[in-house]
Amino acid sequence: MNEARVECQIFKCLLITHSERLIFIILTSLFGIFVLANSTRAADIGEAEKAFRVGRYDEATRLSTEEVRNGSWIERWHLLKIRSEMAQGLYPSALSSLEDGLRRLPGSIALLLLAREVYHFNGRGAEADAVLETIQSRIQASPSPYATPEGRVQVGRFYLARGIDARRVLDLCYDVAVKQRPDLIEANYAIAELALEKQDPALAASTLAKAPQAAMEDPYYHYLLARAFVDDDRTRSEKEVDEALKINPRHTESLLLRVAHRIDQERYADAGELLKQVFAINQQEPRAWAFQAVLAHLKSHPEGELAARKNGLSRWPENPEVDHIIGRELSSKYRFAEGSEYQKKSLELDPTYGPAQVQLCQDLLRLGREEEGWKLADSIFEADGYNVLAYNLTNLRDAISGFRTLRQDGFLVRMDPREADLYGPRVLALLTRARKTLSEKYGVTLPGPVIVEIFPRKKEFAVRTFGLPGAEGFLGVCFGNVITANSPASQGENPSNWEAVLWHEFCHAVTLNKSKNKMPRWLSEGISVYEEKQENPAWDSPMTPRYRSMLLGEDFKPLSQLSSAFLAPKSGMHLQFAYFESALAIEFLVAKAGLPTLRGILDDLGSAFTINESLPGRLGMTLDQLDAEFTTFARKKAEGMAPGMTWDEPDLPPTADSKAIEAWLEAHPKSFPGLRKLAVKLVAEADWPRAKTVIEKLRAAAPEYLGEDNADWLLATVCRKTSDAVGERSALEALADREGSAGPVFTRLIELDQASNDWKRLDRDARRMLAINPLIPGPHRALARAAEQLGQDAEALTAYKALAILDESDPADTHYRLARMLAKLGHPVEARREVLKSLEEAPRFLEAHKLLLELIGSDPPRTPTLRPEVKP
């Protein structure tokens, strides 16, 4: 993320008016600290501000009202009075406080900055708009007070409101203010707010980390930190909200952030309770009404949604934030179409509203409306060079413009051109098969083309998918009709099976379409993982000892609470377990009630039922009964792994030899980890007969175990060492049938197939390896040979063409074989080109010379030229 930010910090040509320039010049030339006219009675105001900070808004209002009534000229009292009244929704009072304040302190920029909001909430939009001009003239008339650190922060906020380049504001106002007064909390806040608005959470977090100690006592500090961590570290974000609410349980911003978290977690009732707390503070809080509208939408309650939106806009009808929040939250629930409509409404109210522009841009790209999306990204970046998201997106667009587009059967696939040459047709074939199988199975006709983008670089995948680089651990993401995936090139030495990934993602496209994007995440992921196994058992996520203990322990979630497993996982392992358990839940539902019931549940969701409303009706039992039956089903599965074995780990040093492990096993004869450790040690000690015996025991104890040092892999090693080719093959085949991502297994099988000239098996194993890594020459070479031997000339030609791109070990041979295949299939011109390439690599390659002669000899006789000879 840092990288993007640094790249983004381009100095942008600044277009400012003459008067603004003048202010900058004055600001940068003034020295010394200006003593504010507002010398304050710190003790009193400090106490009153503390009351505000901890949420005693009425007390803060009372204290400040008394001071103001007594004729105070102190700016902080006036500000506090207005802020306390605004916090409680006392908008008319806030307006008269403002007018009162401005009469006494007409030059106060802080009051004027606050005035915009106060005017808006009192239906006085024209005055709100005029405020910026007033500030401009105040600063121009008397610029010197604003050279103080406090003044620079205020001027910075003013310039941002005027749409001046954020980078320049940061450099000339905020950074200088922090340098002059590192203990100025406001300056830290201003930088953090700016960074968050520009999608630069790393800068926000690092700035807040340097804030003075006193900030810890301020709920707003923790709230800003919570926002900075909201995407990358949700646990930390929640912790900061806790801190904020500990200081001030009535801190509206923090309560609303928690509402957003709860909506994310599908804990809608909890979100509703939190909103009640906000309404108790301010019945007219527009953001709270926006969230209320979201809850109504998610409950398919359009009247409620409409009414909540109307309430949100009642005080300030042009407030663009209300629609923006509704749309943003709906998009986070994959309702991109509805979300984008709300962003459009927001932009109708204020066409310059940045958050709505950015969200709409992402929505459009996720909806596959790319032309509009990219255009918007360009215009955002043009207007705001510091917007990290827009910057990343415009860079991404440039990268994608170099991709090749493949079209077939309702798919539009974009790939790096070299990758498209190597496995583009395989991607299309896989997707076409997925479409046929899954669309028929779930009774879905997908509208429009499905866009699939495969990225060779993780960073591009992350920007396309999440808007920002980072987000490790995702292989693919589906937004409905747009699928993004990481190519094997971005996954290091042992990539995952890309066919399984695309199958999984396409299944999301089908189920999201069927349910009109109204699925809880567990159901969506559960079906996709389940369907991987249905298509190919080797794509299954197998039971592991860890999953076994989680299913039997406290990490197991009843079916009716599976959402929480997904949406608030304690760790990466818990998230993986959520996928596993969700797939198990689908297996249970299909076993219990059949596929038509599952289809019916998706239809219910599409027509506005929640999952926990649909399940009892479709299965004819209460949620409690369902939970109980699923628990029994899952526990039985777990107990079925290595029954009778124990899971105690040997407490032995890594150097312990087989004798020591055997001695330990005498006291723990049923320990599966002990038995596995012994097998591994015996293999390391090359004690083949004993190793074989223990491996057989291991396999008998837990035949489904496919993790590290599984029985089949160990047995294959022993057989290889003892030259038992039949035994080795049989062990590897057993593993290959159950583990579709096991690259080393397929590589070895290919070697064995080639050694035994077993062309059918070679053909099968080469294809299985290409489903893992089509970017290395081995499987293409194997497939080419096998296909040639099996008379599948077209397949051989494709494989030789791919090999010609990749093969650096024997290019002469590859080009020669490709030439031979081209000649055989009637492409003499291309064949000649390839044979010449072969001879370029190896000028004395006899077979190539022979082929060249044949190709020349077979040339059709040349037509004599009719053109008369022209003499010079």
Binding residues vs Zn ion (CB under 5 A) = 525, 528
Helix (H) or strand (E) holding 404: strand 404-408
C-alpha torsion sign, points 266, 271, 273, 276: negative
Q: How far is the CB of 475 from Zn ion (least distance, A)?
A: 9
Q: For residue 321, how far is the Cα from the chain centroid?
A: 24
Q: How far is the CB of 613 from Zn ion (least distance, A)?
A: 24
Q: How far is the CB of 57 from Zn ion (least distance, A)?
A: 45
Q: How far is the CB of 569 from Zn ion (least distance, A)?
A: 14
Whose Cβ is closer to Zn ion: residue 88's or residue 528's? 528
For 25-38, give the secondary structure using H, E and C: HHHHHCCCCCCCCC
Q: How far is the CB of 478 from Zn ion (least distance, A)?
A: 7
Q: How far is the CB of 530 from Zn ion (least distance, A)?
A: 11
Whose Cβ is closer to Zn ion: residue 497's or residue 528's? 528
Whose Cβ is closer to Zn ion: residue 108's or residue 528's? 528
Whole-angstrom Cα distance, residue 697 to residue 678? 11
Whole-angstrom Cα distance, residue 662 to residue 676? 11
What count of other Cβ atoms lies within 10 Å of the Cβ of residue 49?
21
Q: How far is the CB of 527 from Zn ion (least distance, A)?
A: 9
Q: How far is the CB of 466 from Zn ion (least distance, A)?
A: 15
Whose Cβ is closer to Zn ion: residue 279's or residue 466's? 466
Q: Are 832 and 860 in contact (CB under 8 A)?
A: no
Whose Cβ is closer to Zn ion: residue 590's or residue 628's? 590
For 798-857, give the secondary structure using H, E and C: HHHHHHHHHCCCCHHHHHHHHHHHHHHCCCHHHHHHHHHHHHHHCCCCHHHHHHHHHHHH
Whose Cβ is closer to Zn ion: residue 522's or residue 713's? 522
How would you class 704 by CB atoms within 10 Å of its CB: exposed for 0-12, middle for 13-18, buried for 19 or more?
middle
Whose Cβ is closer to Zn ion: residue 579's or residue 845's? 579
Whose Cβ is closer to Zn ion: residue 77's or residue 461's? 461
Angle formed by the axes of helices 743-755 and 725-736, to 10°?
Answer: 140
Whose Cβ is closer to Zn ion: residue 248's or residue 496's? 496
Whole-angstrom Cα distance, residue 437 to residue 420? 24
Angle at 379 between CA 376 and CA 385, to 5 degrees: 125
Nearest C-alpha neighbor of 164 from the set 319, 20, 353? 20
Q: How far is the CB of 509 from Zn ion (least distance, A)?
A: 11
C-alpha torsion sign, points 187, 191, 197, 201: negative
Whole-angstrom Cα distance, residue 737 to residue 558? 32
Whole-angstrom Cα distance, residue 225 to residue 242? 11
Q: How far is the CB of 477 from Zn ion (least distance, A)?
A: 7
Whose Cβ is closer to Zn ion: residue 583's or residue 831's? 583
Q: Are 26 and 141 in contact (CB under 8 A)?
A: no
Q: How far is the CB of 752 from Zn ion (least distance, A)?
A: 35
405 pairs with which residues across the strands?
414
Whose Cβ is closer to Zn ion: residue 174's or residue 498's? 498
How would you class 755 by CB atoms within 10 Å of its CB: exposed for 0-12, middle for 13-18, buried for 19 or more?
exposed
Q: Detail the DSSP E strand segments found in 23-111.
A: none
Q: How far is the CB of 579 from Zn ion (least distance, A)?
A: 8
Q: How far is the CB of 298 from Zn ion (least distance, A)?
A: 21
**Pairing mode, strands 404-408 and 411-415:** antiparallel
Whole-angstrom Cα distance, residue 401 to residue 414? 9
- Side-chain-side CA neighbours of 434 within 13 Å: the count stands at 29
Whose Cβ is closer to Zn ion: residue 362's or residue 528's? 528
Whose Cβ is closer to Zn ion: residue 274's or residue 501's? 501
Taking CA atoms, 282 is separated from 92, 314, 321, 435, 529, in Å, by: 13, 13, 17, 51, 45
